[in-house]
Amino acid sequence: VMFDYVRMSTGNFKDCITEQLELTIDYSDIFWNEDLDGYINNIIKMIDTLPDNAMILKSVLAVKLVMQLKILNIVNKNFIENMKKIFSHCPYIKDPIIRSYIHSDEDNKFDDFMRQHRFSEVNFDTQQMIDFINRFNTNKWLIDKNNNFFIQLIDQALRSTDDMIKANVWHLYKEWIRSDDVSPIFIETEDNLRTFNTNELTRNDNIFILFSSVDDGPVMVVSSQRLHDMLNPTKDTNWNSTYIYKSRHEMLPVNLTQETLFSSKSHGKYALFPIFTASWRAHRIMNKGV
């Protein structure tokens, strides 16, 4: 049987031919629906009955459903539990929009972790890389707020042996450095920016920009290798070979002392670049400094 158009409230697409199948969700029945849980559950079940050769369609429909529920601010309903059971599996769970909707408590957990480690050195495991790449992908505004955390994630993910992680984080970083707020910084230092114009992934040529702990304060431009050296100093590490600029909006070189840059005593609660404070102090002790 062939139909040009059919409206269904329930259905099973398990054995259907999906080659020319077009499905859309009619949300009009959501409003003033006395059995909203049943209505949404039917949609979820119908989506999931689509065969495995329609993975993209399944994912697209699931995302559209979740987006509509978010727009209408429909939460804390019984259907959420059923949605979690079904959408917690592939292909649905791969989408960050679906994942953040059915596991909003996890987003809070990630954000709490970022707040706790906003200005400290972090070592990410593989799952953390995946989780935080997804978190930043769906919430770009978190990047500037957690810049030092973000840069460490980018650096470590680019060193990962997982090609998918490297590809995803590279795309995320490229988007960020080409954004209107950040790209002028790289244009000002373009002689050092081979990474900006290449897709080649190398450990030493990636250029990173670190925002300081002060709003619109100094910024630091470092290579991936330089970042790694400063976080893991040896006795011979040179702390003076850094590019410091007045602010992200005024790319004028400034000369600041190591104490001002790395010592928390020199600038309120945090140093200007507190992710280096512990390693800088360790280096001073290593060289019998005070």
10 belongs to a structural domain:
no
Identity of residue 87: F
2 belongs to a structural domain:
no
Task: Say yes or no: 197 and 273 in one domain.
Answer: yes
Domain termination site, one of 47, 80, 102: 102
Task: Say yes or no: 35 and 173 in one domain.
Answer: no
Task: Say yes or no: 91 and 202 in one domain.
Answer: no
Domain termination site, one of 102, 118, 152: 102
Tell me what percent of the chain is helix, strand and coil, each rounded to the nearest 5: 55, 5, 40
Task: Say yes or no: 74 and 112 in one domain.
Answer: no
pLDDT at 240: 82
Sheet with strand 243-247: strands edge to edge: 207-211, 219-223, 243-247, 250-253
Task: Determine the structural domain holding residue 136 and report its residue range.
Answer: 106-286
CA distance 143 to 156: 16
Which secondary-structure segment (H or E) carries 268?
none
pTM listed for this prediction: 0.63
Number of domains observed in the structure of the chain:
2
Task: Say yes or no: 129 and 226 in one domain.
Answer: yes
Task: Say yes or no: 59 and 158 in one domain.
Answer: no
Query: Which residue is listed with tokens 């910084």?
Result: 185
CA distance 243 to 227: 12
Cis peptide before 51 (omega within 30 of 0): no
pLDDT at 40: 85
Task: Say yes or no: 67 and 173 in one domain.
Answer: no
Q: Is 239 helix (H, G, I), strand (E, B) or coil?
A: coil
Identity of residue 134: N
pLDDT at 27: 65
52 belongs to a structural domain:
yes
Task: Say yes or no: 110 and 92 in one domain.
Answer: no
pLDDT at 120: 87
- Between the two ends of the chain, the Cα-to-Cα distance in Å is 84
Q: Is 234 helix (H, G, I), strand (E, B) or coil?
A: coil
6 belongs to a structural domain:
no
Domain termination site, one of 73, 102, 131: 102
Task: Say yes or no: 58 and 151 in one domain.
Answer: no
Q: Are 208 and 227 in contact (CB under 8 A)?
A: yes
233 belongs to a structural domain:
yes
pLDDT at 82: 82
pLDDT at 201: 39
118 belongs to a structural domain:
yes
Tally Cβ neighbours within 10 Å of residue 260. Answer: 16
Could you give the dihedral angle defined by the CA atoms of residues 123, 128, 130 and 134, in that order, rounded to the nearest 10 degrees? -110
pLDDT at 68: 83
Task: Say yes or no: 155 and 45 in one domain.
Answer: no
pLDDT at 122: 93
15 belongs to a structural domain:
no
Q: Which residue ranges of the chain lie beneath pLDDT 70? A: 1-27, 29, 75-77, 104-107, 188-205, 241, 265-268, 289-290
Separation of CA 267 from chain center? 29
Task: Say yes or no: 111 and 233 in one domain.
Answer: yes
